[in-house]
Amino acid sequence: MKKNVLLAFALCCCICSAWGGEAKPAKPDFKPTESVSTGSVTVGGSRIPYQAVAGTLVVHAKGWDASGGPGDDKNPTAEAAMFYVAYFKRGVRPAHRPITFLFNGGPGSSSVWLHMGAFGPVRVLTADHTHTPPAPYRIVSNDESLLDVSDLVFVDAPGTGFGRIAGKNAAKSFYGVDQDIHAFAVFVREFLSKYNRWNSPKYVYGESYGTMRAAALPLALQREDIDLNGVVLQSDILDWDLMPDDPQLNPSVDLPYIVTLPSYAATAWYHHELPSQPQHLLPFLRQVEHFATTDYTLALMRGNSLPPAQQQAIAAKLHAYTGLPVAYLLKSNLRIEYGAFQKELMASQELTTGTLDTRFTGPTLDPLSKVAGYDPQSAAISSAYVSAFNTYARDSLHYGKGEYYKPGIPVYSSWDYRHQAPGANRPLIALPNVLPDLAVAMKRNPDMKVMVNGGYFDISTPFYEGWFEMHHLPIPPSLQGNIEYRYYKSGHMIYVHLPALKELHDNVAAFIRGTDNLR
């Protein structure tokens, strides 16, 4: 999601010179690929035999005309060969088997994280909250795979994984909010046709920026006459006005500080950096949430007119909830930048906390810097995930020999963030917000359910940010019961903490069983 997270999280890998940042204008000529293998996994004591399919589907840019032509904005020739790995339980009728499409975010990330960390039939073993030693890494059978309740399709974003893009204006055609939604909607449609899954219960599961995609896909798919049974959001960010990404560059917009404060408090609690340590996390967080949305909000709204005595009182309260020194909080004008929090919380020990998961710490790169220079969690686990998948893809899926798997590509700064919301006649000049898309989709399909999952120790997409935005979803009271919320003592990648992975599996499995209409 975040600029420094992308760098540390292997999402800013160099794009291979075979296709470059902007593809050559030659007419693309991708062909679908496929490699089939079999395996089995045991979940909840039951053995599940499956067929695995690794391959690519060809997706065209919006406005593509099959008649060809030179390629321009009205008749683009840009194509994406989108890589996926699908797992189908053997011995069951497709219509009696749910199917879930899973993807990470970035923007510009592959799905390797959800695949090898959460729900695939195998996962890589990593340290819980410290650096995982270098290779060789261990790949083990995943007894928390979601194959017990659903077939799974891990989808890599255009240009990531073993996928590639080509054609005139290829980057412009695929790297943007609406372009990305279009590509995934077409992928789902084509996948359903290729594998005859039109009558299966259908779900999408998005993590991080993938939640923007997952929240907007239901409406995009409805335009293809496809209704979803459910949407699962993990570490959601649907309204970018709430992001704690450099909020100091957007004066007068104070909501990011408000919704991030509970995650700062959770982090200080975890590391025992509070002046008075509460015994239990959740009652403490309820106190912080109340303060954040009452006294703290009112103080920030006063801006420069806040009296010095009130400023001092708010700083003292922030100190009690975050452990940061009062003098520092006064100097920062009561507004805590996430990168500065990472750097300052354990500054006396010259340690930096994680961004994606603040349980992780690492040596501070520059003790004199203002903000953290990296994300210790990304540094701790990225090599393990990428190495494990490269090995698994070649040895077990029999795909990718001689090819480079791109865990991520550097498109964050060049991404087209314009979004045309439902009811708008043009893309809005604003930070993207897909809450209207999700709201319209829920109204058009009132049987669709939504599940929200978040980690208390995530300051990339803070858990309270997700709660806040979903409680501003413009839907009637009759639909508010269609949303459920689950939170975990983990970070952005909830599944890195194994007890949280088990909780996540059980909660998502129950969500699918309760909405698949098969009983």
Predicted confidence (pLDDT) per residue in 1-21, tens digit = 444 444 333 333 333 323 334
Share of the chain above pLDDT 90, in %: 87
Phi, psi of 3 (to 5 degrees): -60, -50
Report d(CA 341, CA 372) in Å as an integer: 8
Residue 72 is predicted with a pLDDT of: 55
| Residue 70: CA count within 13 A, CB half-sphere | 2
What the chain holds in terms of domains, given with CATH numbers, is 3-241+382-513 (3.40.50.1820), 242-377 (no CATH)
Please calculate the CA angle 497-500-506 and round it to the nearest 5 degrees. 145
Predicted confidence (pLDDT) per residue in 172-224, tens digit = 999 999 999 999 999 999 999 999 999 999 999 999 999 999 999 999 999 99
213 contacts 158 by C-beta, under 8 angstroms: no
Provide the CA 328 distance to its chain's centre, in angstroms: 32
pTM higher than 0.85, yes or no? Answer: yes
Cis peptide upstream of residue 262 (ω within 30 degrees of 0): no
Q: Is the pLDDT of residue 26 over 90?
A: no
Dig out the tokens for 395 from the structure: 């040895």
Phi, psi of 83 (to 5 degrees): -85, 145
Residue 67 is predicted with a pLDDT of: 57
Residue 243 is predicted with a pLDDT of: 87
Give the residue among 105, 175, 109 at the shortest CA–CA distance from 418: 175
Residue 306 is predicted with a pLDDT of: 97
324 contacts 336 by C-beta, under 8 angstroms: yes
Q: H/E element holding 438?
A: helix 435-444
Predicted confidence (pLDDT) per residue in 493-504, tens digit = 999 999 999 999
Structure confidence at residue 64 as a pLDDT band (50, 70, 90): confident
Phi, psi of 101 (to 5 degrees): -100, 120
Give the residue among 161, 123, 127, 91 at the shortest CA–CA distance from 505: 123
89 contacts 97 by C-beta, under 8 angstroms: yes
Residue 450's CB: how many other CB atoms inside 10 A?
25
Share of the chain above pLDDT 70, in %: 92
Phi, psi of 36 (to 5 degrees): -110, 135
Predicted confidence (pLDDT) per residue in 378-413, tens digit = 999 999 999 999 999 999 999 999 999 999 999 998
Cis peptide upstream of residue 244 (ω within 30 degrees of 0): no
| Residue 267: CA count within 13 A, CB half-sphere | 33
Q: To which residue do tokens 């007068």 refer?
A: 252
Predicted confidence (pLDDT) per residue in 65-97, tens digit = 665 555 555 666 899 999 999 999 999 998 889
The sign of the dihedral angle between the CA atoms of 419, 420, 424, 428 is: positive
Q: H/E element holding 55?
A: strand 46-60
More confident residue, 444 or 245: 444
Predicted confidence (pLDDT) per residue in 360-370, tens digit = 999 999 999 99
| Residue 374: CA count within 13 A, CB half-sphere | 18
Burial of residue 335 (number of CB atoms within 10 Å: 0-12, 13-18, 19+): middle
Residue 11 is predicted with a pLDDT of: 34
Residue 512 is predicted with a pLDDT of: 98
345 contacts 268 by C-beta, under 8 angstroms: yes
3-class state of residue 105 by DSSP: coil
Region label for 82, one of left (φ > 0), alpha (ψ between -120 and 50) or beta (otherwise): beta
